[in-house]
Amino acid sequence: MRGYTLDTNHIREVLRINPQYIQKHRQARNRDLPVLVNAISYYETRRGLLYMNMIGKLGLFDKIVRQTGIVPLDKTALDIAAELHVDLRGKGQLIEDTDLLMATIALAHDLTLLTANVRHFVRIESLRIENWLVP
């Protein structure tokens, strides 16, 4: 595993400066495991902050992104997403496209997805998921 990527619900905790959550980030970095923003979570977070006119949080978010960069939605992730969509659709277990793309970015870049929607993402068998929002 190369590190972690954040679902939007986990980015919210970073922006709230949740001390327990920040401690988990430090522990990951101390083990040389980066905690990265993916392209889909970037979009969801930025549009939400802009819509709610949360300029201060937007500045903090921009700082975080400058420090970590953005894990891209690339051809590999898109190819994986197309295959998983067909598989999940055949099983009657579809998930939203944005969540599917977030998951496939994690798969394509050998990252663990940090999410509070564990039940939602367990449909993707090869995806590593963790929830740092539970004690």
94 Cα distance to chain centroid: 18
52 occurs within a structural domain: yes
pLDDT of 120: 86
* 24 lies in some domain: yes
Q: Which domain holds residue 102?
A: 3-130
State which residues of the chain have pLDDT below 70.
Answer: 1
The reply to whether 135 falls in a domain is no
Which residues are 5's β-sheet partners?
A: 36, 113
Q: Is residue 87 part of a domain?
A: yes
- Structure pTM? 0.93
User: Is position 69 within any domain?
Assistant: yes
The enclosing domain of 82 has a CATH number of 3.40.50.1010
- Residue 1: the pLDDT is 61
Predicted local distance difference test score (pLDDT) of residue 134: 83
**Nearest by Cα to 13 from 1, 27, 24, 28:** 24
Which letter does DSSP use for residue 105 in this model?
A: H
Return the pLDDT at 135: 73
What pLDDT is recorded for position 133?
87
* Domains: count for the chain: 1
Task: Give one DSSP letter per residue of 34-99, joined into a string.
Answer: -EEEEHHHHHHHHHHHHHTT-HHHHHHHHHHHHHH-EE---HHHHHHHHHHHHHHHHTT----HHH
End-to-end CA distance of the chain: 23
